Amino acid sequence: MNETTETHETTGLITPEIRQWVGRSDAPQRLEVTRRDIVKYAIATQQRLDKYRRGDEAPPMFLFNAHQPLVAVETLRPDGLTVDPLLPALPLTRVMAGGVTNTYHRRVRPGDVLLLTRTLTDIYEKQGASGPLIFVTYAVRVETEAGELVLEETRRRIFR
């Protein structure tokens, strides 16, 4: 167990079978960044800096959720989320955002070919004010095909 898990009060929801999922990763996804993609994102997010509006450089949140697959609407869960292949069935099913921390190592530019890899790094539980909660933590790593680190992201989800 890691240090985070050991310091949280448990409620018995996380079974050894669920814990075995920690450490699994998605297959790396390849993303070719085009100037057009950057310009479309800049327009959609009302960017004001010319370097974004021209597509010379991607705004900081350009890669947010880039690892999510493009799926048909009818395949979404009732809450509008995609089925997560990195996550086992959990005894709590209502999902809330638990925060995102990004560390940027370099800018994203048109012509970049990126590899995105997401890893399930932790599942732990604790008692909340209104009942038990399960916390799930993912690490997303983005690098160029040549291996240059672009972004490290830690993402948390809370199930209740």
Domain ranges across the chain = 3-159
Angle (CA) 4 17 120, round 5°? 50
Does 15 have pLDDT greater than 70?
yes
Of residues 96 and 2, which shows the higher confidence score? 96
| Per-residue pLDDT tens digits for 136-146 | 999 999 999 99
Q: In Å, what is the CA distance from 12 to each residue of 4, 9, 21, 86?
A: 16, 9, 17, 21
How would residue 2 be classed by pLDDT, with cut points 50, 70 and 90?
A: very low
Which superfamily does CATH assign the domain made up of 3-159 to? Hotdog Thioesterase (3.10.129.10)
pLDDT tens digit string along 39-51?
999 999 999 999 9
